[in-house]
Amino acid sequence: MARFAVGGSVTQALGRGRCLVQGCCHGTACAPWLGIRFTHPRSRVTRLSTLGGTPVHPTQLYSMGWMLAVAVVLVRLWTLHAPLPFIAGTYLFLVGLGRFVEEHLRGEPQTAVLLGLRLYQWLAVGFVVAGLVVTTLPGAPAPPPSVPSARDLVVLTLCTLVVYAAYGVDFPRLNRRFSRLV
């Protein structure tokens, strides 16, 4: 889980690029100097909300920055040979904190609100609590970082290409759902 946390932080940051292009996970209205505008008619901002053309918080960029900061913290913990459960718990804790704040700035109207908090804020609270619990578990220290073998690099490259094709390639002539990056 600790290995997933370190790699997953970077992957999540890169994955928000699709959110930024597609307009999902968008923010609420904000000052023009801070916001970005979505105007494409197929963007989720223009199709599902009334914020098309309005400057909105670039929550996707906030998320990217936060996840890269989380990755830096986790890599540092790894190099200090912190216990593996501590690294995994720190990931859960930091992801929960970041998502809780990010959801406060989100402007997607379809997200349910329960007891004054958005559904994803409740999930973020669960991540924070789970992270606190996991950090207290005993475990082996993180092993020294190692250089991947040539075989591992080939497998990683193939997996990266498959994920990129599945989630990042635009098919502009198709009208199927998720075929376009707008």
Alpha helices in the chain (DSSP H): 2-22, 44-48, 59-79, 84-104, 119-135, 150-168
Residue 139 and residue 156 in one domain: no
What are the structure tokens assigned to 23, written together? Answer: 């307009």
Residue type, 38: F
- What whole-number distance in Å separates Cα of residue 25 and Cα of residue 181? 14
Residue 168 and residue 109 in one domain: no
Residue 74 and residue 164 in one domain: no
Residue 123 and residue 151 in one domain: no
- Residue 39 Cα distances to 48, 61, 70, 84, 131, angstroms: 12, 18, 32, 45, 39
Residue 123 and residue 167 in one domain: no
The whole-number pLDDT of residue 11 equals: 84
Structurally, how many domains does the chain consist of? 2
Residue 112 and residue 158 in one domain: no
- What whole-number distance in Å separates Cα of residue 28 and Cα of residue 126? 24
Residue 88 and residue 16 in one domain: yes
- For the chain, 182 residues long, the average pLDDT of each consecutive 10-residue run is 87 82 82 88 78 87 94 95 96 96 86 86 95 96 87 82 67 60 50
Range of the domain at 58: 2-145
- Residue indicated by tokens 């109207």: 109
The whole-number pLDDT of residue 177 equals: 61
The whole-number pLDDT of residue 167 equals: 61
Residue 125 and residue 151 in one domain: no
